[in-house]
Structure 1
Amino acid sequence: MEGGDRGSPAAEAGNWYANSPEDVAAAFAVDPAVGLSAARAAESPSRDGPNALPEEKPEPGRRRCLDQYRSYMPRLAPAAAQIAAAALECRSETGTVLTTAGFDSKQMNLAMLVEFVLAVLVTQTDVFQRLLGTTPLDLRQFAWALVPAVALPALWELGKLIARRRGHVA
């Protein structure tokens, strides 16, 4: 390097950050009050590369969604929704829950609402993300996380429909 050696003990030990500003200025032969000359500043990028950090590639959405499930907490949100669906579905072997009578229980309705709100909070708020180690999800990724919770009752209802058509009593 022109104008000085980088051979200070801290730099040689890999602890470049331990150097004092005066040591750094001396190593680069620069007067901090004046700075680099125009000529030296112009040649620096061609010799040392651009004065910029490399750009990081954005993480693909599918990877962010899968990373969400590395900790146990995000797995609980769809599981809690499936448990709520199971509680609704277990009321009858053949009767559908897709009627207003399926939602007569205030406690069940409140529990489902609270579970949904908590699922949104866990995946969308910075406080819970830092606390639980989760990553933010966009609307599309959140919708994919709800697929199992929606698929379970749909399959259950299909099974009940088949049971009703075979003649089982409700």
Structure 2
Amino acid sequence: MAAADPVGELAVLWRAAATLDIDELSGRLVEVARAAGSLSELPLALTVRMYLLFFSGELTAATELIEDMEMTAAAIGSTQTPFGALGLAALQGHEDDVTVLVESTLREVTPRGEGIGITTTEWATAVLYGGLGRHDVAFAAAGQGAQHLDNLAMGPWCLVELIEAAARAGSQHRRAWPCGSSRR
């Protein structure tokens, strides 16, 4: 497979990923980081696990990991971007919390050029407003995030939110497709 064929490469990666038990793998990642005492790796492992739990609808278990992450950050004297709290607040429809978390996250990640952080705020905004029935706002936020499909952690999830917002917002949004050419 040539490096110039990103679609082919993605197909291979998705086939490989389909053979993995991502639930088991993410749990093992947290286990290994804890067992090794690797406090610098634990926040990333917790975040991966947390988002898997979000997408599985297991918000109570994800909340426990958010608390674990906050304690870990405090123990090592680090501040962590609040991706867990942001995702949870969006899924629970807490508009005020999401607004504050998006603003603080963008202040933190934008100067560093941290694309995943920016895309995560767009996903969270889309989820929040889609859940609150404000599909125009969800469409705009998801459209921004879906332009970054190369960010495999959150870009594709923005695309999912974009499709839902377009379907619920009406035909004018389907004609204004932000991901390349207009699609119908």
Higher Rg of the two aligned structures: 1
TM-score w.r.t. length of structure 1: 0.30
Structure with the bigger RCO (C-alpha within 8 Å, sep 6+) is 1
When normalised by structure 2's length, the TM-score is 0.28
Task: Report the structure, 1 or 2, having the larger helix content.
Answer: 2
